[in-house]
A and B are shown apart, each in its own frame.
Chain A
Amino acid sequence: MSVIDVFGMCIKNLVKRKLRTLLTLLGVMIGTGSIILMISLGLATDAQFAQMIEDRNLDMTVIGVWQQGGWHWTPELGNHQVDAGPEITDAVVDRILRIPAVSMATPIIQGRLVLRSGPYAMESWNVTGIRPEAMAHMGYNVEYGRLLQEGDEFAAVFSSRTERHFFDMGGDQWWAYRVWGDGDRDAVYVDVMNDPIRMYYDINSLFRGRFMGEDDEFGIGLEEAMTPVRSFDLEVVGVLEHVVDMWGWDGGNDTIIMDIETLQMFNQLQTAAERRAQEEGNWWGGTPVFSAIPDDVRDAYDSLMVRVHNMDDTSRIAETIRDMGFNVSFEGDWIEQQRQLQAGMETLLAAIAAISMLVAAMNIANTMITSVTERTREIGIMKVIGATVSDVRKLFLAEAISIGLLGGIFGITLALFGSYAMNNFDIEFLNNLNMGVPDWMRVGDERPAISLITPWLCALALAVAGGVGIVSGFYPAWRATRLSALAAIRGE
């Protein structure tokens, strides 16, 4: 029999038993519909997070890596101390760079700088050393100027607010600013891209003159104090865009980012100067002469920034690095956890929906078995007239598949209506079904879709419904093929 004939016959048989067919269809419809709806909640959640990532411009491909150790808090253990893990060395950086999914990695060190431009100065405790060639890969964007690039040494990129930290050393707010970090933030004294800026490693010496009250004329006293201090020219090559993270925090806009080797050298000079000062009992200022770099300065880095090619790899790579003994974090950490939490919920919901599908499957099988029993005679006649075993099997399988597919189509329709209702009726109960981005985190006021039905979900559901039909149809079809043609005709 050709496929068309098989289905033609099968439709006739289904139509003949309208009520029974309809009831079976309803079962499949409810099963399919509820599975689609449950999955649609998860899809909507994913879409909401994706939208948030886009709205907030989150770069989820950068992973931060730290040495383990110190105090930690977890829900299970509370506040507890963790033994120090391995240090971040060049070997670690190389190892991470060899992971295929990783496109770039750079060690990071933290440091502090004193900068001066004419009568204005600033002290930053928020200096990040990075491999200049890596900066372009770490999700930084400049507002103007450029990022660091290979070969940059005494060059830096400022964050959007860093320039405001310059204060007037002759003014009266400098002390408060330095200590409390609370100055006239709107005043911008220095054109950082164009004015000459020098950086000092011996921080305390900068203020020595003023603090010790040696000279009331600030400028002269300062000049004297500064003269022997080792300093370098610093070129600011760019200023970054203002950055707000997913929690709305914008505290990351006061940093200076520069070449890691230069900063390293600076840190070492500074350490040496401080030691010297301590040895001399001079707590307020390092000796203003060049100090030799001590041998015992550790060569490990403070942290590591890792960039992966693809956002989907982020959590996997983060896990890999965590297994190497490091602490990791990335911007989407929370989203990832949230998603996993939801995945659990969704699986549970889908499992409940799957039960109704199971019931539907048994319903199909039951209907088909009844149908085989009822049509024993017909089957026998067909066999005598020339239906092969495979014809008979096809006929009954086709009926089961048709019920499955038709039920699937009804189910999709049902789910589309349900989804529409969920997305368009602002009802407390429906709102509670939303497992996605919480209201306070959302950008914009629009109520997000809490159910999302994609074409592939429909296709999948249809395939599942059809598959359930086939599976439920196997046994009845097998029974039909086993019927003796003779007994069937004789049974009058």
Chain B
Amino acid sequence: MSDTTKDAPQVIFELQNVRKVYKMGTERVVALEDISLKFEKGKIYCLLGTSGSGKSTLLNLLAGLEKPTKGSIKFKGKPLEKLSETQLTLYRQGYIGFVFQSYNLLPTLSALENVTLPLIFRKIPKRKRVQAARKMLKAVGLGNRWRHKPHELSGGQQQRVSLARAFVNDPQVIFADEPTGNLDTKTTYEMMDMITGMAREREQTLIIVTHDTEISEYADQIIQMRDGLIESIKDTERTRGNEKNEDSNNTSDDDTSSADNGGGI
């Protein structure tokens, strides 16, 4: 894979002098000081920092959930800050997948329905979207649990449903905001393996926000943040993700079965 990626890395996001200031009553809180960054296609990034470092704000800006106070964020060359709210919604529909710390599944919907939700908003016909969602659920090892409501699933299972939901519309970018914050250690690794594996397999850009340095080991590049500034950018050896990635690549059929076993967690 990724010969083209290596030869001519395609820039997905380009940030230029991005500044974000919140007004809290009369006080002004500077969340991002002055950020210039590039994200390339097919790579896995980790935004690492303590709470208040501005990493979540940066994610929100990239997702088009907020607009920068100053500066420009370009997605494939197009400035996001110039899009209308509806256009931003369409941008998220078409190109972005989300994984949250608290899973954020809709409690009234079954696992399958939760996964189909992004496709519903994209007006994909029912048969097609159910097919796609089933496939995704199988891929995350919940093929036989599609009927369950979120409260009938364990935390790990819920997060896998949310993973399926993030990947179901085959986005170009996946944002994961503290994806393992609510999980135990064992599940955390399984989850990280799964998410990075799936992103690599599909040549998607994965941006993980975390304060956990161990998780950062899955990334190609670690962007360390502090007080709204980039402290350091570090390319890694991809110690953890690499092996797993190859592993899952070679035995993609196994993926389902091993994940099915994991379903009991």
A492, closest chain B residue (CB): B102
Selected contact of B65 from candidates A388, A389, A486, CB within 8 Å: A486
- Are A385 and B65 touching (Cβ within 8 A)? no
Within 8 A of B (CB), among A446-492: 485-486, 489, 492
Q: Is B26 an interface residue when CB atoms closer than 8 A count as contact?
A: no
Q: Is B240 an interface residue when CB atoms closer than 8 A count as contact?
A: no
Stretch of A186-194, A327-335, A376-384 that contacts chain B: A376-384
- Are A377 and B66 touching (Cβ within 8 A)? no
Give the residues in chain B near A386, CB-CB below 8 Å. 89-90, 92-93, 117-118, 121-122, 169
- Are B89 and A1 touching (Cβ within 8 A)? no
Within 8 A of A (CB), among B129-183: 165, 169
Give the residues in chain B near A1, CB-CB below 8 Å. 120-121, 123
What does the 1/0 interface line of A363-377 toward B look like (CB < 8 Å)? Answer: 000000000000001
Q: Is B63 an interface residue when CB atoms closer than 8 A count as contact?
A: yes
B65, closest chain A residue (CB): A486
- Are A385 and B117 touching (Cβ within 8 A)? yes
- Are B104 and A489 touching (Cβ within 8 A)? yes
Give the residues in chain A near B98, CB-CB below 8 Å. 384-385
- Are B106 and A389 touching (Cβ within 8 A)? no
Selected contact of A389 from candidates B89, B101, B102, B105, CB within 8 Å: B89
Within 8 A of B (CB), among A1-22: 1-2, 5, 9, 12-13, 16
Please classify the interface of chain A as helix (H, G, I), strand (E, B), loop, or mixed, using the class held by over half of its residues.
helix
Chain A residues within 8 Å of chain B by Cβ, number: 23
Q: Is A87 an interface residue when CB atoms closer than 8 A count as contact?
A: no
B85, closest chain A residue (CB): A389
22 contacts between A and B (CB under 8 A): A1-B120, A1-B121, A2-B120, A12-B109, A16-B108, A377-B104, A378-B107, A381-B106, A382-B117, A384-B65, A385-B92, A385-B98, A385-B121, A386-B92, A386-B93, A386-B121, A387-B121, A388-B121, A389-B85, A389-B89, A489-B100, A492-B102
User: Can you name 18 extra interface pairs (CB under 8 A) apart from A1-B121, A385-B121, A388-B90?
Assistant: A1-B120, A1-B123, A2-B123, A13-B108, A16-B107, A381-B104, A381-B106, A382-B106, A383-B89, A384-B65, A384-B92, A385-B117, A386-B92, A386-B118, A485-B65, A486-B60, A486-B66, A489-B100
Q: Is B251 an interface residue when CB atoms closer than 8 A count as contact?
A: no
**Bound-state Cα–Cα, A387 to B86, Å:** 9
**Bound-state Cα–Cα, A229 to B107, Å:** 108
- Write the nearest CB–CB distance from A123 to chain B, whole angstroms: 91
**Bound-state Cα–Cα, A384 to B102, Å:** 14
A387, closest chain B residue (CB): B121
**Bound-state Cα–Cα, A13 to B121, Å:** 17
**Bound-state Cα–Cα, A9 to B114, Å:** 11
**Bound-state Cα–Cα, A9 to B122, Å:** 15
Within 8 A of B (CB), among A398-448: none
Give the residues in chain A near B60, CB-CB below 8 Å. 486
Q: Is A391 an interface residue when CB atoms closer than 8 A count as contact?
A: yes
A391, closest chain B residue (CB): B121
Selected contact of B89 from candidates A9, A13, A381, A387, CB within 8 Å: A387
- Write the nearest CB–CB distance from B143 to chain A, whole angstroms: 22
- Write the nearest CB–CB distance from B53 to chain A, whole angstroms: 16
- Write the nearest CB–CB distance from B98 to chain A, whole angstroms: 6
7 smallest beta-carbon distances between A and B, as pairs: A386-B93, A386-B121, A381-B104, A388-B89, A12-B108, A16-B108, A486-B65
- Write the nearest CB–CB distance from B84 to chain A, whole angstroms: 10
**Bound-state Cα–Cα, A381 to B104, Å:** 7
Give the residues in chain A near B86, CB-CB below 8 Å. 388-389
- Write the nearest CB–CB distance from B121 to chain A, whole angstroms: 4
Give the residues in chain B near A485, CB-CB below 8 Å. 65
B123, closest chain A residue (CB): A2
Give the residues in chain B near A382, CB-CB below 8 Å. 106, 117, 121
- Write the nearest CB–CB distance from A387 to chain B, whole angstroms: 5
- Write the nearest CB–CB distance from A386 to chain B, whole angstroms: 4
What does the 1/0 interface line of B26-66 toward A look like (CB < 8 Å)? Answer: 00000000000000000000000000000000001001011
**Bound-state Cα–Cα, A276 to B101, Å:** 120
- Write the nearest CB–CB distance from B91 to chain A, whole angstroms: 9
**Bound-state Cα–Cα, A9 to B105, Å:** 14
Give the residues in chain A near B117, CB-CB below 8 Å. 382, 385-386
- Write the nearest CB–CB distance from A43 to chain B, whole angstroms: 42
Give the residues in chain A near B105, CB-CB below 8 Å. 381
**Bound-state Cα–Cα, A416 to B108, Å:** 35
Give the residues in chain A near B66, CB-CB below 8 Å. 486
**Bound-state Cα–Cα, A16 to B117, Å:** 18
- Write the nearest CB–CB distance from B66 to chain A, whole angstroms: 6
**Bound-state Cα–Cα, A17 to B122, Å:** 27
